[in-house]
Structure 1
């Protein structure tokens, strides 16, 4: 009985050890910055999805910790490309937008 408990503890310790080793890999502010980035990205994606322009729901949004946003993907017209950029710029926390959207003409 004691051997099986000891074996279970050793297995558990072996599984947890890699997690403990990676706990200090990131600077203290990284988790907070990631949450901030994801909130801004989510706000932009929500606004794009609710804009009633179907192709804007397919725009890929990346945000860094400094509020810089990059839009990638495909849209049908220049007006949709401009609209996606305007939506992104209007979100709180966005400092600039790099609009890399491609116009498909469809």
Structure 2
């Protein structure tokens, strides 16, 4: 009987350690959030590449807790606006940060 309690306690302690290890903080993501952000990043990249007006492979996309950051170089101000608009329409995007620059 003592051995059963010992095994149950070890199982509960291991479960608690896993749950705490997967929890998110203000500076890091939990496992589920990381997967969600990866999906959002992929959807935004696909939408940007599939837009006839953009056709720019020089736009980088990163996502953290639903906030998408666009960076890189584009040909015009209208491309910047279009990229932000395309990204903001993706399901799961909370906001879009623009760090794109014009090519010189």
Larger of the two Rg values belongs to structure: 1
Structure 1 residue 44: Cα displacement: 0.3
Aligned length in residues: 81
Please give the residue correspondences for 1:61-76 in structure 2 after superposition, counting only pairs within 5 Å. 61-65=61-65, 67-76=66-75
5+ residue gaps, structure 2? 1-16, 25-29
- Distance in structure 2 (CA, Å) of the matches to 1:28 and 1:44: 25
Which has the larger strand fraction? 2
- Distance in structure 1 (CA, Å) of the matches to 2:21 and 2:47: 31
Offset from partner CA, 1:4-51 (integer Å, 9 cap, x none): xxxxxxxxxxxxxxxxxxx95942462111110000000000000101
Which has the larger helix fraction? 1
Structure 1 residue 54: Cα displacement: 2.1
Please give the residue correspondences for 1:68-87 in structure 2 after superposition, counting only pairs within 5 Å. 68-87=67-86
Under a length normalisation based on structure 1, what TM-score does the superposition of the two structures give? Answer: 0.69
More deviation in 90-99 or 27-36? 27-36
- Distance in structure 2 (CA, Å) of the matches to 1:78 and 1:38: 27
In the other structure, the counterpart of 2:47 is 47
Question: Alignment partner of 1:33: what SS?
Answer: helix
Question: Alignment partner of 1:54: what SS?
Answer: coil
Under a length normalisation based on structure 2, what TM-score does the superposition of the two structures give? Answer: 0.70
